[in-house]
Amino acid sequence: MNQADVFLIAPADPSIRVVGSGGALIHRFASISAFERWRAEDGEESIRAALQAALSDAGVRIDDLPHQLKSVLTWLSTCRSVPDLKILIGRASSTRTFYRSWNLEFPEPPRIVLDRLRTCHATALFGAGRTEREAAELAGFRNPGAMRRSMIRFGMK
């Protein structure tokens, strides 16, 4: 996915507008200290970047998805850990509609995409200096062994 986040640090002023965001996620902060607080809270544990990488690996652009899938994935991007498939499906209005939409848009089942997402997130956590056990736990794996097997499966180790 070639979409970037846009960060605007400026006082709340109606004359400031972001034009042509192209679907990018826009973050507005009234001050640098507010941005720094957000960055400290949302930093390495957020799965937003890992979700973008996993969707890119699956060949899917979030902007091209139907509203229901887009809203479920938007919710997913705010999570700190990758939830189980049952929780993800629970965010959709109907299980049947979710699977039908998913199968039309994604080349892989949701379970595989979530495994890929966990693996991308764990890889990012490693890069941020987390231990193997911490990365496995924060990414949503049951144990470090499952994380290692997933990394080998997706070629990320």
Query: Mind listing the pLDDT tens digit for each residue in 111-151?
Result: 999 999 999 999 888 877 788 998 899 899 999 999 999 99
Instruction: For residues 84 and 63, give the distance between their C-alpha atoms in angstroms, rounded to a whole number.
Output: 24
Amino acid at 111: R
For 97-108, what is the mean pLDDT?
93
Share of the chain above pLDDT 90, in %: 40
pLDDT band at 45, cuts 50/70/90? low
Judge whether 117 and 109 are in contact, CB under 8 Å. no
Placement of tokens 């006082």 in the chain:
11
User: Per CATH, is 48-153 categorized as 3.40.309.10?
Assistant: no
Region(s) of the chain under CATH 1.10.10.60:
48-153
pLDDT band at 33, cuts 50/70/90? confident
